[in-house]
Chain A
Amino acid sequence: MALSREQMAQRVARELQDGFYVNLGIGIPTLVANYVPAGIEVMLQSENGLLGMGPFPTEDEIDADMINAGKQTVTAATGASIFSSAESFAMIRGGHVDLTVLGAFEVDVNGNIASWMIPGKLIKGMGGAMDLVAGADNIIVTMTHASKHGESKLLTECSLPLTGRGCIKKVLTDLAYLEIEDGAFHLKERAPGVSVEEIIEKTEGKLIVPDNVPEMTFA
C-alpha cells in the first residue's frame, strides 16, 4: 500500500533531531509538525518572519497580525522570535535552518528540483521556495512517486523549469524513501507492502537497488 499523507509526515518526522530549527512547506510538510517524536524539541521557522511557530489559535486568540507563510493564522510558541523578511531569509540563505521539508513536481538524479512552474498554466510565483532550496543543506522533498497517469516524477532530468539545481539529496514518496548521490536515486526504504518491482517500474531516473530494501513500519 502506498503511504497516506499522514504516514508520509510520520516518516519525515523520524528525521527530526533534538534542537533542530525546521522549515516546513505547505501541504504534507505542514503535517510533520503533528508527529514530532516524544522527548525532542524542534522549533519551526516560517519564512514570513517567525521562528517558533505554535499551533493554530483558538477562536479567541485569532490575531490578524500573526500568520504563517501559508497566510494562516497561527500562534507563537514559547521562546519564539519575530523578525523581518530580510532577517528570515538571512537565516535560510545563510544555512542556519537544520531541515527543510517541501513538495515538488519533479526531482532528478542530479538533485535538481522543479516545483513552481508548469508552462501553459498560470504561474503564481516561487514564493520562498528558491531561497529555501538554495540555502539549505538538509532538504527532504515529499511528493507522490508518479502522477495520476502513472508518469514518474523521479527523472533522469527534470522536464519543468527548475526551482534549484543540484540541491536535493533526500526524497520521500508515497512508495519509497530514496537518497540522491552520484547521479542516481538510491532506494533506502519501501512503503509497507510495496514491491521493489513497482518502485523500479515507476522510477524513470537511474535507480540503485540494494539487495535488501527494508519496509517502513508504522505504529
Chain B
Amino acid sequence: MSGFNKVVNSYEEAMAGLEDGMTVIAGGFGLCGIPENLIKQIRTMGTKDLTIVSNNCGIDDFGLGILLVDRQIKKMISSYVGENALFEKQLLAGELEVELTPQGTLAEKMRAGGAGIPAFYTATGYGTPVGDGKEVRAFNGRHYIMEESITGDFAIVKGWKADTYGNVVYRDTAQNFNPMAATAGKITVVEVEEIVEPGELNPSEIHTPGIYVNRVIKGTFEKRIEQRTVRQG
C-alpha cells in the first residue's frame, strides 16, 4: 500500500489484526448487503469472544450465523435476531448474550459513534424495557432516553464499487447499515464487487468517503435471498 491506496489482495490481509474479544460492527439488513466473505474470513480465523453489532445475525449457514457454529460470538447487539436454530439454542443455553436495540437507535448509535458523539436522546424505547436503567430527560414536554453510541475495533462493510482510495458506493437497498458501520470502525474493511481507479466514481455520488476506510478488497458474492417474492409478469 502506498499513499491513499487502500486495496488489499487477500482476505487474510483484509482482516489482519482481529483478535479475541474485539467488537466488530457489520453492515447489512437480513442477508442483503452483508460482507459475506469478510464474515467467512472471521470463521476461518476462529477468533472468539466477539461482540458483533449488526441489525441481524444471518441464518444457520449464511452470513453472521456461520460464526455461531464454533461459538465465536459472545454478544450480539441487534434489533431482530433468531432466524437461525443455532442462535436460539445458544441463547437459551446462556452461551450467547443479546442486547436488543431498536433498529433506528442502532443505526444512530453507529452514526453517532463514527461522528464523535458519545450519546444522544431519543423518544424511541421510553417507557419500555429498552429504557430500563437509562437516563430520562424531558425536552419540550416530551420524554427521551439517553442512548450511548457505538464504535468498533473493526467495521466490516459490503459496497458495490470502490475506488482504490476507498471511496465507496452502495447499490440499491444493499446500502442499509453499511455507511454508518463504515464510519464507526477503528479499522474499516470494505469488500466490493468492483474496484475502479480514482476519478472513475462521480465525487458527488460517493456514499462513503475514503477517509473512513482503511482496507478495500474485491470479492465475489453469492447474495442469497431470504424471502423470494414475485408477481406474475
Contact = CB atoms under 8 A, between A and B. Distances in A.
B224 interface: yes
Given A57-B231, A124-B81, A66 B179 contact: no
A86 interface: yes
B124 A131 contact: yes
Interface in B98-125: 100, 102-108, 110-111, 122-125
Given A58-B233, A59-B233, A67 B124 contact: no
Q: Is the interface of A mostly helix, strand, loop or mixed?
A: loop
Contacts of A71: 29-32, 226-227
A161 B128 CA distance: 6
Interface stretch (A14-22, A143-151, A162-170): A162-170
B102 A128 contact: yes
B102 A131 contact: yes
Interface residues of A, number: 54
A84 B224 contact: no
A214 interface: no
Contacts of B32: 48, 64-65, 67, 71
Given A56-B229, A73-B229, A130 B128 contact: yes
A112 B33 CA distance: 35
B165 to A, nearest CB: 21
A58 B31 CA distance: 20
B122 A93 contact: yes
A74 B82 CA distance: 23
Given A86-B180, A127-B103, A162 B79 contact: no
Contact of A73 (B55, B111, B125, B225): B225
Contacts of B31: 64, 71
Given A65-B171, A71-B31, A89 B107 contact: yes
A125 interface: yes
Contacts of A130: 102, 104-105, 124-125, 128, 130
B106 to A, nearest CB: 8
Nearest to A129: B102
B223 A85 contact: no
A68 to B, nearest CB: 8
Contacts of A83: 175
A59 B231 CA distance: 7
B212 interface: no
Contact of B176 (A73, A84, A93, A131): A84
Given A65-B32, A134-B123, A164-B127, A89 B223 contact: no
A134 B122 contact: yes
Q: Give 9 closest A-B pairs by Cβ, nearest first.
A: A89-B104, A165-B127, A58-B233, A131-B104, A64-B223, A125-B80, A85-B107, A128-B103, A130-B102
13 contacts: A46-B173, A49-B29, A56-B230, A59-B233, A64-B224, A67-B29, A71-B31, A73-B227, A82-B172, A86-B107, A93-B122, A122-B88, A125-B78
Interface of A: 46-50, 55-68, 70-74, 76, 82-86, 88-89, 92-93, 112, 117, 122-131, 134-135, 161-166
Given A65-B172, A71-B30, A131-B104, 4 more contacts: A56-B231, A66-B173, A130-B102, A134-B125
